Structure formats: C-alpha cells, structure tokens
Amino acid sequence: MDISAEIPVYHIFIHPMDIKELKRDIWCDDPLPAQMKADGKRLEVDLRYRGSHIRDFKKKSYQISFYKPQIFKGVKDIHVNAEYMDTSLLRNKLSFDFFSELGCLAPSSRHVFLKINGKAEGVYLEIESVDENFLKKRGLPEGAIFYAVDGDANFSLVSDLDKETKKSLFLGYERKVGTERDNFCLEQLIYRINTIPNNEFEREIVHMVNVDQYLKWMAGVIMTQNYDGFVHNYSLYKNSETGLFEVIPWDYDATWGRDVNGKYMSASYVRIEGFNTLTARLLYVDNFRKKYRNLLENSLKKLFTLDNLKPKIEALYNHIRPVICLDPYIKDKIDYFDREPEFIYSFIEKRNAFIKSELGKFN
C-alpha cells in the first residue's frame, strides 16, 4: 500500500547511538539531532519525547523542532502525538475542530504516518504548537502565551494539588512566549480574579479577560467532557492590543466519553458548572450566566448534534482506516478502533440530553 496516498508520511532518520540515548532516559527533555523527510523535503530537526505520563507508553509521542530551516510551513515546532490511550485516534482532532466551530482559537491538527529509520511507528496526530507562529498564521497581535502544565492552573489562590495556599501565583504555568513582565501580569490576573468584590466583578473582569471567548471555551470543555479541562489542558494568550487574556484548548484525547486511561466515562460525569475559580465567579454574574446558557442551548441545537458531528467523525475514521492495519500498536486491535465511532455517537446523544436536563440551573 502507498501510505502517502492516504495520509502524509514523516520519515525520521536518527543515529543509532542517539536512539539509545533517547531511550536511556525517557524523561530527558534535551533534544537530539535528526533528519526528517516530509512533503518531499529533507529537513534538519531536533527530536525529543513529549508529554508526562504518556512517556511510559510503548508508542511514544514526540516534539519535533525545525533546525534547518528553522521555520517550515509557517511553524518552528510540531507535536506528533501517539494518541495511545485513545483507541479511535480521533478525539483530540475532533475536539480541536469542534472548538474552532464554536469560535475559539484552537491548534490545527492532521493525521500522519511516522517511520523512524525505516521502521513503521504508526498513525500519529500532528498538532500545531501554540506559539508566536500560531498567532502569525491567524493574523493575530503578538502576545504572551502560557501553557497550563498541572492542576495549579486553576485561577485560584489555593493549590488544586495540595489544597494549600500557593507560594507563587505562577504555579501551574510555563511561559512559552513573552517576558518576566508577562508573568507578573498573569499573577495579577489571578490575584484580581480572587479579590474583586462581587459588586465590581462584572465591570472589572471584562478589562482583563475576553469573557465572551472564555464562555465559548467553557461550553466546549463541557460538551466534549474534558474532566481536566478547567485546571490543566489549556493555554493562555494575552492579546497585546486588547490586553485581554484568551483561553486555547490543549490535550483533548480524554474526551467524548473516555477518560485519560481510555476507560468509559459516564455522559453525566462532568457537571455543567465547571470547576475553577474564574468559572465560578463568572457564573455568579447574571449576564454572564445567561450568555453561557444561551451558548449551550444554541450549540445543543446546531453544533453538538449527531447531524453535525457524525459526518465529520465518519470522514476522519474513513481517512485513517486504510492505514490502521500498518500501525504496529493498533493492527491487532482493529476491532476496537472500528467500534469507537458508534461509541462516540452514543456519547454525543447522552451528553446532549444530560446538558439539556441541567440547563435549569442557570435560570
């Protein structure tokens, strides 16, 4: 089979000694030199493993940074995700596409087939890095970008991890783009979220957060049911022109009815009110609560429906199905892969019904 006729193929070439070094310490973030052949071009790249708990999996995920040239097709880094615990290999991409449909900023993604030194590694999801090039490609103003790296990114003064008062309000974040001054701005945001009096909150928060965009993002987290979505799986972008923070989704494989281990998650598991401090304070305000309810109602009628989503899921499934048998980590579990679309369809119907039944909370 000509794989490239189905999906793009990335050929990675790395010295055998460097492969040994890569495998010697899977937690090391120091990149190793490699060559990559993609789209008819041979490129010099840096390669390393990526992720946290996913590094223990047999099928590794990678970060690829372009070295020569330093920018390729408008990006300097790409994430190549194994999606090892998602039997469908669809959930991350389906989520990012859904957030875009809601009107949120979201990374672009596509399925690729990865080979390392000629050995098939299988079907991966290439995900755009959220960085300065992410902004340039969309014609957006420059701005600081932060990654929420653990549960302390909960917009609270108290740690989500140990329930103690935070020693630093920057806990839970890593700055991807920007300066130390931007770190201070983020800390100030978190402090103000927690200390603005209730009678001033509606008036003040709109000068710090793009509230309309945040509410769309909230709706996306709730409909896709990302349990960690409110305290972890996102990036923050501070628009230099408006001065407002916006939220960008990230790491959405544990969604659409599956948890982080790929296990069944009830369609009623995640409450529609969300989990973090900023969300709670926004929903305390009548105008914001009404906007959020309207967003959910409209999405449940038009976007988060089988009529809208089933053709997209079928198209993604049919796109990668011909090469699944060549993935050494999935080829013996193809029956699981084939059953997942129906599982996702069932989740959409049940989650839609559950959210509708809960909307009365926002009256």
The answer to whether the CB of 49 falls within 8 A of the CB of 60 is yes
pLDDT at 39: 85
List the chain domain ranges. Answer: 7-363
Lookup result for tokens 């710090």: 208
User: What number is the average pLDDT over the span 43-68?
Assistant: 91
Confidence check: pLDDT of 51 > 90: no
Confidence check: pLDDT of 30 > 70: yes
Mean pLDDT for all residues in the chain: 94
For residue 124, the cross-strand partners are 112
Q: What is the DSSP letter of 295?
A: H
Q: pLDDT of 124-168, one tens digit each?
A: 999 999 999 999 999 999 999 999 999 899 999 999 888 899 999
Q: pLDDT of 293-321, one tens digit each?
A: 999 999 999 999 999 999 999 999 999 99
Share of the chain above pLDDT 70, in %: 99
Let me know the angle formed at the C-alpha of 361 by 357 and 363, rounded to the nearest 5 degrees. Answer: 110
User: What number is the average pLDDT over the span 160-186?
Assistant: 93
pLDDT at 158: 93
43 band by pLDDT with thresholds 50, 70 and 90: very high
What ranges make up the beta strands (E) of 189-342?
A: 234-239, 245-249
Confidence check: pLDDT of 10 > 80: yes
Confidence check: pLDDT of 1 > 80: no
The answer to whether the CB of 316 falls within 8 A of the CB of 106 is no
User: What number is the average pLDDT over the span 169-184?
Assistant: 95
pLDDT at 6: 78
End-to-end CA distance of the chain: 57
pLDDT at 5: 66
- How many angstroms separate the CA atoms of 221 and 285, rounded? 20
User: What number is the average pLDDT over the span 103-112?
Assistant: 96
Share of the chain above pLDDT 90, in %: 84
- How many angstroms separate the CA atoms of 95 and 76, rounded? 23
Which ranges constitute the DSSP H helices of 173-285? 180-195, 198-205, 211-224, 277-283
